[in-house]
Amino acid sequence: MKKHIVCFGDSNTHGYCADPMDCEDHGDRFNENERWTSLLQQKLGDEYLVLEEGLSGRTTVFDDPLHECMSGLDYITPCLMSHEPVDLLIIMLGTNDTKDRFYASAACIGIGMARLVKKAMSTECWGGKQPNILVVCPPAMGKEMPNGIFGDTMGEFCVEKSEQLSKYYKEQCELLGVHFADAGAMGCEFNEIDYMHLTRKGHATLAENLAELVPGLL
């Protein structure tokens, strides 16, 4: 059986494209030749099965009063069980958690990620092996985000909180004994329309870095 890698994330895993001119199909979603999950599959090869589980708006643990089914905590167990045995879970969440309507500091978002990781670890999807989880902190939003197309719904404090996430995620990962990576440190770029979604180049950069990292985790 191939090694199952579940990629659990939000719109940056689903492949939302804010700039149609940056997308091969000129739509609002990067295609299978552009999304980081698909590129990771191509780079890793046939011994691996990369499973996309991206939902636009998904949070770590917060219920969204405006949209249903956004808490990752509510879906992580059936998601993992549907793909068992899981060899590696990659979680990249946190951007949506910074929304002002959740009233959560970066430290609280870090605790939310830890809670999500603990639930994933306790799910019986690992085929008798130890849980194997990589938390990827999304890049910090651009400082211009409040003036972008989603600025009014995200809120004015999102940028500052997103800049702090890497610190708190790393601390929680060390406490839990799971792997950590920082997409911002990899140089994964956001677009200059909403300043919070990866460009086509950003997807490629993330895939390249993860393709180097993932084999050593399995």
Report d(CA 40, CA 42) in Å as an integer: 5
More confident residue, 149 or 58: 58
How high does pLDDT run on average in the chain?
97
pLDDT of res. 148:
87
Summarize pLDDT for 65-79 with one digit per residue, the tens: 999 999 999 999 999
pLDDT digits (tens, 9 = 90+) for 150-182: 999 999 899 999 999 999 999 999 999 999 999
- Per 3-state DSSP, the chain is made up of helix, strand and coil in percentages (nearest 5) of 45, 15, 40
19-to-26, 54, 199 alpha-carbon distances in Å: 8, 19, 8
Give the pLDDT confidence of 93-152 residue by residue, as tens digits. Answer: 999 999 999 999 999 999 999 999 999 999 999 999 999 999 999 999 999 999 889 999
**Domain residue ranges in the chain:** 3-217
pLDDT of amino acid 71: 98
Examine residue 85 and say whether the peptide bond preceding it is cis (omega within 30 degrees of 0): yes
Lowest-pLDDT choice from 75-79, 192-196, 205-209? 192-196
CATH annotation of 3-217: 3.40.50.1110
pLDDT at 156: 87
> Could you tell me if 118 and 133 are in contact, meaning their C-beta atoms sit under 8 angstroms apart?
no
Residue 133: closest CA among 154, 118, 148, 111: 118
pLDDT of residue 67: 95
